Structure 1
């Protein structure tokens, strides 16, 4: 069994930061960064860079404080949204710059982590490599940085066995990007950032888009999070959410923010864009929101015949067709 001082699980933004900090402060200690994918980067790994993907952030707002993303090296200019390949390049450069690239073990998945109830403590990890060979290692310290987007959730749709068309999760968009040229029609289910990006990519490629949107769910002090006290500002939270004056401040804040969004997006300017209007308050929508960082006007696509929005539940699939809860069906 291999023995290590520290193991970081996950080679995305947070895993790399944790590994860098540990290595730079304790360079004599042994370290491994385990990631189940074939490339570092997490959400920004090679295989997840689907067509047109950009960060919602602009230059200078999406970087580590000790490793600036400068224009000369990475090619992004001031007030430009950062393209996904640049984020990927930046993370690889960060790992190389701080000497942690050699500690990264890709295509290595942790299947079991067992804490040792002894005086020494530590963890025994069961890991599986790309060839599905299983082994164990011991680590004194275990840092989990797997994020929330590691494993895609693809629900089972009634009738999918006889559907006949291609069915894939947004995480596999890159691997299915040939459909931008081969598909005549595409159905997109959901309204997250990835969904908006996919709608834009297909519509601008001339593919007919049927977009199914159901009804979905920041600023931490203004959000009634049940784990809020963990940030150490429970007094501020108690005032904002536990007093009449505080709640009035919170309500006013979200009202102003919501009205700004409605005004800037011009949802009510057209019957089709009105279908994209949030049906819940911003406070309850959280990180389902994104921003318009596209090269052309997204809303013009929605107003055109290229995109058809359906506010309904997904019912079932049949050979070559999608069926909705309101009786609508389409190719």
Structure 2
């Protein structure tokens, strides 16, 4: 059903020149990475009468997969679940490199008819909601330095959580004395030549363990320098069972089975890690020891001090990292940096690592909602003070939803559920004649919990600037696909703490918030 609220141009109509005047749509999606593509697809397919525009800061779709350029860039989730549920990943690769993923995303946009919905070169700087009109006014800077203005009934933010303009590098003593080249993977120079060079990669996370096997064949020698180890899991590069399932069941049926199989495996591994961390530690470190060359000490370099899944698990597809460490071109060192020297790095142990190039794979900075300023009726919203309703809406902020994926399984699984639930919210509003929704907690003093539950440094440095989860009701954070599938996929849209209204109506005070009728509490969107 499509009410008068959603009458207007169809998906992608932008109303003339994008650099002049104001352009109105029903839903404005911010970001054309995986989350934005998912949102646009579900809106386009399930609500064909709803007009959509996607604003993308860069000149191409793909987010991470077209932004990062470092050697070996690849997924750290299996592609059967990292790919969309509505667009099968058909390559036999389980873990895919960045260019393949970027091409898959470009093809998805084309095949799903989404190209005309996207406006490139639009960096959103502010979004202001006016309750008297029930509209968002969004301003974006363009490539030519102008400001483009958009209005929309609903705002869907799918900017991820990385800061694309800055990266994290610790304040290394003496780094100014180093005569070689220092590179951060986030800003990889296209003309960097590392052939026959001495290279040191600082870091122990997914980026570092990707760079080592990718760069080693060309370097004179490459060293992975880590302060402390990470857990690493060897996954096959190609899923043999998927090959046979495709033969027996056909591609469509097999894709569904493979997706469920991989979800079940990843969830089981996570649950074992949380419920029996000692057992998980033994299993993970044992499979590493079995693959390491004899000269590499597993107890020193591959025995983390933290429990499994307190930080994200790293993947070595086909055991490429372990094979690389078996060559004479690569090595691993676990130590602390004392200082940089003119020719390399001196370690606390006294060891000197010579280097022509140092790669600081030391982490990323997080940034909430792409750094845009959000306001409601002239009052700026500090998102860090807000609770996240069902981990996808902001308390006290009308007609806004956002997508943040999982930290313990494929990102895509969560953002697809969020997009589908957002469409169900709009369907519900059509059915009951509502113009606005706004989540308001009955208990504004409930315990605050981080929206990402990892102890990784990049999370801990900035997670306080993001909205928080709560400890009760729809405000809890469920980093569990099976629970979110029930809550977001099958559960009711109506909730006593999600208030629906009409344009111009005043929100009820928190102290007098009333429960909705039982019929609405159990109603589901058509």
**Aligned counterpart, 1:89:** 103
Call closer, same or farther: CA 1:161–1:206 in 2, change over 3 Å. Answer: closer
Q: Return the alpha-carbon distance in structure 1 between the equivalents of residues 206 and 276 of structure 2.
A: 24
What residue is the counterpart of 2:32 in the other structure? 11
Q: 1:15 to 1:170 in 2, by over 3 A?
A: same
1:125 is the counterpart of 2:148:
no
Partner of 1:187: 200
Residue number in structure 1 paired with 2:41:
20
Structure 1 residues 145-224: aligned runs within 5 Å: 145-151=158-164, 152-155=166-169, 156-173=171-188, 175-176=189-190, 178-181=192-195, 184-215=197-228
Q: What are the Cα deviations for residues 47-103 of structure 1, in whole angstroms up to 9, with x where unaligned?
A: 425433333455633322222223xxxxx22x6433332221211111112221112
Q: Where do 1:126-141 residues align within 5 Å? A: 126-141=139-154
Relative to 1, partners in 2 of residues 1:190 and 1:329: Cα closer, same or farther, differing over 3 Å? Answer: same
* Map of 1:279 onto structure 2: 305
* 8 Å contact from structure 1 (residues 273, 303) kept in 2: no
* Structure 2 alignment gaps of length 5 or more: 1-21, 231-270, 355-526
What is the CA–CA distance in structure 1 between the aligned matches of 2:227 and 2:178, rounded to whole Å?
A: 22
Query: How many Å separate the matches in 2 of 1:179 and 1:22?
Result: 45
Classify 1:197/1:177 alpha carbon distance in 2 versus 1 (closer, same or farther; 3 Å). Answer: farther
- Aligned pair 1:29/2:44, yes or no? no
User: CA offset at residue 198 of structure 1?
Assistant: 0.6
**Structure 1 segments unaligned to the other structure (5+ residues):** 71-75, 218-247
Does 1:63 pair with 2:77? no
Number of residue pairs matched by the alignment = 288
Q: Is the Cα–Cα contact under 8 Å of residues 71 and 215 in structure 2 kept in the other structure? A: no
Is contact 2:199–2:219 with CA below 8 Å preserved after alignment? Answer: no
Query: Larger Cα Rg: Structure 1 or Structure 2?
Result: 2
Does the CA-based 8 Å contact 1:5-1:30 persist in structure 2?
Answer: yes
Shift in Å, 1:273? 4.5
**Shift, 1:184, TM fit:** 1.0
Moved more, 85-94 or 156-165: 156-165
Cα distance, 1:41 vs structure 2: 0.8
What is the match of residue 142 of structure 1? 155
TM-score in terms of structure 1 length: 0.75
Distance 2:229 2:136 in 1: 39
Question: Contact between 2:31 and 2:157, CA under 8 Å: does it hold in 1?
Answer: yes
Superposition pairs for residues 181-330 of structure 1, below 5 Å? 181=195, 184-215=197-228, 252-266=275-289, 270=294, 272-274=296-298, 275-285=301-311, 287=312, 289-294=313-318, 297-330=320-353
Per-residue CA deviation, residues 287-326 of structure 1 (Å, 9 max, x unaligned), is 2x222215x7422432444333332333443434223344
What do the CA deviations read for 1:180-228 (whole angstroms, capped 9, x no partner)? 32x51112121121111111122222332232212379xxxxxxxxxxx
Give how far 1:39 is off: 1.9
Aligned partner of 1:48 in structure 2 is 68
Aligned counterparts of 1:250 and 1:58: Cα–Cα separation in 2: 19
Shift of residue 254, structure 1, vs aligned partner: 2.8
SS at match of 2:75: strand
**Structure 1 counterpart of 2:463:** none
Inter-partner Cα distance in structure 2 for 1:186 and 1:250: 34
Please tell me whether the aligned partners of residues 30 and 56 of structure 2 are also in contact (alpha carbons under 8 angstroms): yes
Is 1:112 paired with 2:126?
yes
Taking only aligned residues, the RMSD between alpha carbons, in angstroms, comes to 3.0
Q: Distance in 1 between matches of 2:126 and 2:302?
A: 42
Closer, same or farther in 2 for the Cα pair 1:185/1:249, shift >3 Å?
closer
TM-score w.r.t. the length of structure 2 is 0.49
Q: Is the 8 A contact 1:49 1:85 kept in 2?
A: no
Deviations 1:242-266 (A, max 9, x none): xxxxxx9876533333222112111
C-alpha spacing 1:209/1:32, structure 2 compared with 1 (3 Å) = same
Report how far residue 17 of structure 1 moved: 0.4
For residues 210 and 69 of structure 2, what CA distance do their matches in structure 1 show?
A: 11
Q: Is the 2:59–2:120 Cα contact (8 Å) retained in structure 1?
A: yes
